[in-house]
């Protein structure tokens, strides 16, 4: 769960935020501690909560109300302060905000508790829910995989693994894999259909061993040095190239030569994707 906008249900948010917020806050506070003149974050959080209690407000508006000039000792500082305060105050996009995109300057924020009517809660129940949701999306997976995705130590996750009644498997390397009891398990002969993954898709980041879907030979091309994860397409369950949307059409940049059948299947899937991206008439 990296610093990326996620769209989750209210129940998921309460578990995710409750269990992961403390780790994120500690990391941000450690980075801000390197600045020579310390800010009173407790006071800033209370001031911020007072402003968003009045009405939803945008990030630029809140930084201005908090006194942005004094935050600009370093170009990183406003970014760090914003993410720290928004984490501590549990801010979420306001329901009426239309800015569901990477640039959040136009988004309006509200405290999660005010919108959801409940506070995020940490503890074993939250970790169990977090693990169940992870396995529902990315299982079968190892304990190390779950730790990689959640950012929680394996020892923290172990009680949740023990509490859930999970199916167990062994992979080709003999590693223990876990999955939910009723999770689909297609036959080994099943051929994965072609799929297009968007930028920063969690499928490429959800496992400790990413070679199960992203061959090492392409890793540096897909995951850039600045952390960006490119748009990719899958063939037979593995990353096989990059894609772009150009003038309403999907263009492919395969890493290796595609067979005629593979390209036809990708073209069919690509037309569906292009139709999804087309503006509504």
Is the pLDDT score of 251 beyond 90?
A: yes
Closest CA to 179 of 139, 132, 239, 129: 139
Is the pLDDT score of 186 beyond 60?
A: yes
β-bridge pairing 238-246 and 249-254: antiparallel
Lowest mean pLDDT among 122-126, 129-133, 209-213, 214-218: 122-126
Average pLDDT, the chain: 86
**Under CATH, what is the fold of the domain 124-179?**
Arc Repressor Mutant, subunit A (1.10.10)
Confidence of residue 179 (pLDDT cuts 50, 70, 90): very high
pLDDT in tens, 15-39: 888 888 888 888 888 888 887 777 7
Running DSSP on this structure, what letter comes out for residue 273? H
Measuring CA to CA, how many Å separate 242 from each of 168, 231, 237?
A: 34, 6, 14
Question: Per-domain residue ranges for the chain?
Answer: 10-116, 124-179, 195-277
Is the pLDDT score of 100 beyond 60?
A: no
Structural contact between residues 212 and 141, judged by C-beta atoms closer than 8 angstroms: no
Read off the pLDDT of each residue in 180-208 and give the average, rounded to a whole number.
Answer: 92
Is the pLDDT score of 281 beyond 50?
A: no
pLDDT in tens, 105-151: 567 888 888 888 888 877 889 899 999 999 999 999 999 999 998 88
What is the residue whose two structure tokens read 């080994």?
188
């Amino acid at each position: 769960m990296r610093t990326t906008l996620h769209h989750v249900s209210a129940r998921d948010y309460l578990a995710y935020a409750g269990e992961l917020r403390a780790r994120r806050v500690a990391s941000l506070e450690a980075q801000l501690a390197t600045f020579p003149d310390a800010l009173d974050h407790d006071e800033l959080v209370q001031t911020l909560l007072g402003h968003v209690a009045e009405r939803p407000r945008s990030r630029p508006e809140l930084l201005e109300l908090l006194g942005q000039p004094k935050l600009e000792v370093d170009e990183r500082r406003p970014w760090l302060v914003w993410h720290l305060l928004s984490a501590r105050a549990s801010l979420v996009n306001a329901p009426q905000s239309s800015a569901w995109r990477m640039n959040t300057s136009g988004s309006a924020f509200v405290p999660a508790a005010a919108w959801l009517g409940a506070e995020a809660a940490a503890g074993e129940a939250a970790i169990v829910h977090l693990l169940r949701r992870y396995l529902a999306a990315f299982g079968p997976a190892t304990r190390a995989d779950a730790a990689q995705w959640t950012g929680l130590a394996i020892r923290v996750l172990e009680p949740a693994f023990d509490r859930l009644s999970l199916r167990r498997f062994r992979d080709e390397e003999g590693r223990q894999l876990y999955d939910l009891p009723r999770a689909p398990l297609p036959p080994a002969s099943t051929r994965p259909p072609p799929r297009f993954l968007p930028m920063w898709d969690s499928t490429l980041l959800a496992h400790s061993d990413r070679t199960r879907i992203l061959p090492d030979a392409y890793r540096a091309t897909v995951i850039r040095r600045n952390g960006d994860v490119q748009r990719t397409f899958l063939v037979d369950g593995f990353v096989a190239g990059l894609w772009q949307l150009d003038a309403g059409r999907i263009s492919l940049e395969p890493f290796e030569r595609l067979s005629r059948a593979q390209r036809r299947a990708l073209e069919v899937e690509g037309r569906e994707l292009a139709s999804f991206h087309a503006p509504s008439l």
